[in-house]
Chain A
Amino acid sequence: RKEVEQDPGPFNVPEGATVAFNCTYSNSASQSFFWYRQDCRKEPKLLMSVYSSGNEDGRFTAQLNRASQYISLLIRDSKLSDSATYLCVVPWGSASKIIFGSGTRLSIRP
């Protein structure tokens, strides 16, 4: 099993739709998790941190299921500007080493 796995997509959904994607991880000891957003040819930028069961920030909700070892990202009322690649990030081993998933591509159409 890969350390961090994501559905690569692409997810192509209409503006205003709700979309969700999952990320599974293999290290049961991981305590905190992150979702980063990366636009084409740009650097990753932090979207949300997840330390307990979940986190909500406006239209974005991240949930953590420790028993099944996955985290999910839900985007409600999607906007054209949400089109990007969403990277799941899991700490690994030392407190500072993190592993990125390969990303899920999301495309919002008008």
Chain B
Amino acid sequence: DTGVSQNPRHKITKRGQNVTFRCDPISEHNRLYWYRQTLGQGPEFLTYFQNEAQLEKSRLLSDRFSAERPKGSFSTLEIQRTEQGDSAMYLCASSLSRGRGDTQYFGPGTRLTVL
């Protein structure tokens, strides 16, 4: 399977714990994105990388959230001191920049439940 993969698929944690999610993009894609989606809403942009550089971060990404893409391939999203409001589906997407509305391909997501 050469699509976007995410691990874990599900994560249940207690409030206050730290969690880390991983995303492996489509191999030739240079752009990688993180989104958060809650029930009944569309995905909300969190951040994106071009190669290893993090080029944009949403104001939704509080200082408890950090994302990395150290070698321009896979990426991790860490949430520190989780809160119940962090419960959501965290989606990763990747694209190959073509300069006109990149098509983003999504992974299956990591569903986070904070108890």
**A contacts, CB < 8 Å to B:** 4, 8, 31-34, 42-46, 49, 51, 87, 91, 94-103
CB-based contact B108/A42 at 8 Å: yes
Q: Which residue of B lies closest to A88 (CB)?
A: B42
B5-27 vs A: 1/0 string, CB under 8 Å? 00000000000000000000000
In the complex, number of A-B residue pairs with CB atoms less than 8 Å apart: 62
How far, in Å, is B67 (CB) from chain A's closest CB? 15
Nearest A residue to B111, CB-CB: A41
A102 neighbours in B (Cβ, 8 Å): 40-42
Contact assessment for A51 and B100 in the assembled complex, using a CB-CB cutoff below 8 Å: yes
Is the CB–CB distance between B101 and A32 below 8 Å?
A: yes
Query: In the complex, which of the residues A33, A44, A97 has the most CB atoms of chain B within 10 Å of its own CB atom?
Result: A44
Q: In the complex, are the beta carbons of A96 and B108 less than 8 A apart?
A: no
Given A43-B106, A43-B109, A44-B43, the answer on whether A97 and B99 have CB atoms closer than 8 Å is no
Segment at the interface with A among B48-56, B68-76, B79-87: B48-56
- Chain A residues near B109: list those with CB within 8 A: 43
Q: Which residues of A contact B95 (CB under 8 A)?
A: 96
